[in-house]
């Protein structure tokens, strides 16, 4: 399936990378041709970041991390 002795996973990797390159190349070309697409891209990125923050794990507070470390050090003594 793969050439030069590569395994089937290499073939999948190369096909996927080629498809991704083709898609991003097409999007770059469309972005150059269509006015206003940059604003659409910014809006989609902002919405995506918000969605990831909403569904992703909540980051710990810096002060909580420090307090936990101090408590662990006190318990070790």
Question: Quick one: pLDDT band at residue 71, thresholds 50, 70, 90?
Answer: very high
Question: Quick one: pLDDT band at residue 6, thresholds 50, 70, 90?
Answer: low
Phi-psi region of 36 (alpha: psi -120 to 50; beta: other; left: phi over 0): left
- Asked if pLDDT for residue 1 goes beyond 50, the answer is no
In a domain, 30, yes or no: yes
In a domain, 1, yes or no: no
In a domain, 57, yes or no: yes
- Provide the domain count of the chain: 1
In a domain, 62, yes or no: yes
What is the extent of the structural domain holding 46? 8-76
In a domain, 2, yes or no: no
Tens of pLDDT, residue by residue over 33-55, are: 766 777 777 877 888 787 777 77
In a domain, 3, yes or no: no
pLDDT value at residue 14: 84
């Amino acid at each position: 399936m793969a050439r030069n002795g590569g395994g089937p996973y290499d073939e999948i990797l190369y096909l996927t990378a080629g498809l991704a390159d083709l898609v991003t190349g097409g999007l770059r070309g469309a972005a150059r041709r269509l006015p206003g697409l940059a604003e659409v891209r910014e809006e989609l990125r902002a919405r995506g970041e918000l969605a990831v923050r909403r569904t992703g794990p909540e980051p710990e507070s810096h002060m909580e991390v420090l307090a936990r470390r101090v408590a662990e050090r006190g318990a070790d003594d």
